[in-house]
A and B are shown apart, each in its own frame.
Chain A
Amino acid sequence: DVKVTQSSRYLVKRTGEKVFLECVQDMDHENMFWYRQDPGLGLRLIYFSYDVKMKEKGDIPEGYSVSREKKERFSLILESASTNQTSMYLCASSWDTSGRAPNEQFFGPGTRLTVL
């Protein structure tokens, strides 16, 4: 089974702290994604990556950065956490299916981040 793991299920940080959220997948997926999920707003894409050292902005990249130094690991960084970044963060990964029908994304269990 594909497994996507996230470093923490729950995290509490203070305003202004630098926060690292780690995501690791074990199926050699090319593509990795970070979303945040908020009540009433659904899932919103923050950043994604189609290959090692590549990154693309999603719909709401402001206040975030990412790092992908190894294929299996995709990190989300909050440079200076703010209270409006309190949210559920979901990591996902998928295979590259260029030229064929796209397949599904596999999600991690999520990290519920609270910024005080």
Chain B
Amino acid sequence: GDSVTQMEGPVTLSEEAFLTINCTYTATGYPSLFWYVQYPGEGLQLLLKATKADDKGSNKGFEATYRKETTSFHLEKGSVQVSDSAVYFCALKKTSYDKVIFGPGTSLSVIP
């Protein structure tokens, strides 16, 4: 069945470090791909998305490129801040009537 795999962490970085969170997926067809972020004590919110191969999603300095050849959607940020400390979820969805498939989440802590 369809699935999403991501590094679970926890990941601890110093402020201004470069961030990569790997995400790979298994799915038939052409899913849309998403990164959600969950700040402490809150629900999930969309960080960025890409709906077709080679699309790049970007928001708040974060980027991810939909790579169909490697079935990947890695999240990157050039310089993290303490306020980026959160749990990050990679997810896919194939059609409006399919369930969202979430990865297990990656906990990120950024220390000053």
Contact = CB atoms under 8 A, between A and B. Distances in A.
B97 A105 contact: no
A104 B96 contact: no
B19 to A, nearest CB: 21
Interface residues of B, number: 25
Interface residues of A, number: 26
B74 interface: no
Interface string A36-70: 00000011010010100000001100000000000
A102 B44 contact: no
B105 A104 contact: no
A107 B97 contact: no
A104 B89 contact: no
Contacts of B32: 101-103
Given A31-B96, A50-B97, A102-B96, A108 B102 contact: no
B94 A102 contact: yes
Interface of B: 32, 34, 36, 41-46, 49, 51-52, 89, 93-100, 102-105
Given A102-B94, A108-B43, A109-B42, 5 more contacts: A42-B89, A98-B97, A102-B93, A103-B49, A107-B44
